[in-house]
A = this chain, B = another copy of it.
């Protein structure tokens, strides 16, 4: 029997190939952009779960509205309002993780062959979505302050068909670790307003800043006064647990309504069970307490990583010290392929993700993404040494 199997994603395959290298049992992994199992608020959720009455628990077993479990939508709106997000003019859709939010928006606006814009490097999960929908990806380089505005304008002017949207992760970028400056955010909005291009602002990490003084940098573009249209996506994956599969999108009513219809056709509704737990977690104030703890824990890991990078990396390797989030993005000399380095370090049980995975064109391979979120503190030094030694062989 012959099938017309349509879909393929080179980037998904890349990730699978990398993971296949991880054979050892005592892995030191800077690879996965995931929280550490030991840091999850298991005890807090235990207490909140056991305090629920039977009626509420039973609601957790039931279908819920496609847009989300209403008390949770209310709680999340209040939480986001405190962060300055426009929850009164925009509408909130709870999604099965923020990846689903990006998938919904892609289905909503893009047909196969349409143009979209994204950063280079970019979040590999989003790249995989765009590949799956056979979208034409046009990538714009970034520097330490964000997307390069001149390059963006150049690209827009160059394209025959207007891109359907620009997708960015401005706060504690995955994989680049940077945060956009406020000036860059404002400049970006101006360009998008001028060319009438929709912005997808993916913001999974903004609660994870390392210094209270720099919190102001996390201001979101959707909350800035501007004539540009913005769809904002967020997630509980980094601030509670990805296993809950809870994300959201915040959009103007027209976009919200279509998104809700697509969500209905994708999985009917998000789990009431996990929404009820997340609702208690936010409402009780536990999330705020947990964030204080997480910021400290991730900063600690970042500090130790930074210290060891300075100690072991050859001077040809450069990076920006992150101000929040999960990632350090090393720039290695152009003649070295990160994918080759990984093959060497993997034999010594040290894993990371090479740059080409985050390049929409799967080319640029002179970068190494180190995630410090899920590595054991006592392993950081050894891991860095193994990577540095492998690099030195090529320099």
Residues of chain A touching chain B, judged by Cβ–Cβ distance below 8 Å, are: 1-9, 12, 32, 34-35, 37-38, 40, 42, 45-46, 49-50, 54-55, 57-64, 95-97, 99-100, 103, 107-109, 111, 125, 128-129, 131-133, 164, 196, 198, 229, 237, 240-245, 254-255, 258, 261-262, 264-274
Contact = CB atoms under 8 A, between A and B. Distances in A.
A58 B34 contact: no
Contact of A262 (B2, B132, B269, B270): B132
Contact of A254 (B3, B129, B244, B273): B3
A345 to B, nearest CB: 22
A164 to B, nearest CB: 7
Name the residue among A45, A54, A164, A261 with the largest chain B CB count within 10 angstroms: A261
A278 to B, nearest CB: 11
Contacts of A96: 96, 245, 267, 271
Contact of A268 (B1, B3, B99): B99
A266 B8 CA distance: 13
Nearest to A15: B264
Given A1-B196, A5-B254, A258-B5, A128 B265 contact: yes
Contacts of A242: 61-63, 268-269
B266 A164 contact: no
18 contacts: A4-B164, A7-B262, A8-B261, A9-B265, A34-B63, A37-B62, A40-B57, A42-B54, A42-B57, A61-B241, A96-B267, A99-B265, A99-B267, A132-B262, A243-B272, A244-B271, A244-B273, A266-B267
A242 B268 CA distance: 10
Contacts of A107: 6-7
A62 B268 CA distance: 23
A378 to B, nearest CB: 19
Contacts of A133: 265
Contact of A274 (B32, B129, B164, B273): B273
A38 B58 contact: yes
Contacts of A55: 37
- The A interface, classified by DSSP as helix, strand, loop or mixed, is helix
A264 B62 contact: no
Contacts of A9: 261, 264-265
A17 to B, nearest CB: 14
A60 B243 contact: yes
A286 B125 CA distance: 37
A15 B133 CA distance: 28
A90 to B, nearest CB: 14
A99 B118 CA distance: 31
Given A34-B63, A62-B241, A97 B273 contact: no
A8 B254 CA distance: 12
A152 to B, nearest CB: 18
A243 B62 contact: yes
Contacts of A60: 241, 243
Contact of A40 (B58, B229, B245, B267): B58
Nearest to A66: B12
Contacts of A57: 40, 42, 46
A2 B269 CA distance: 28
Contacts of A37: 55, 58-59, 61-62
B261 A59 contact: no
Contacts of A95: 267
Contacts of A32: 63
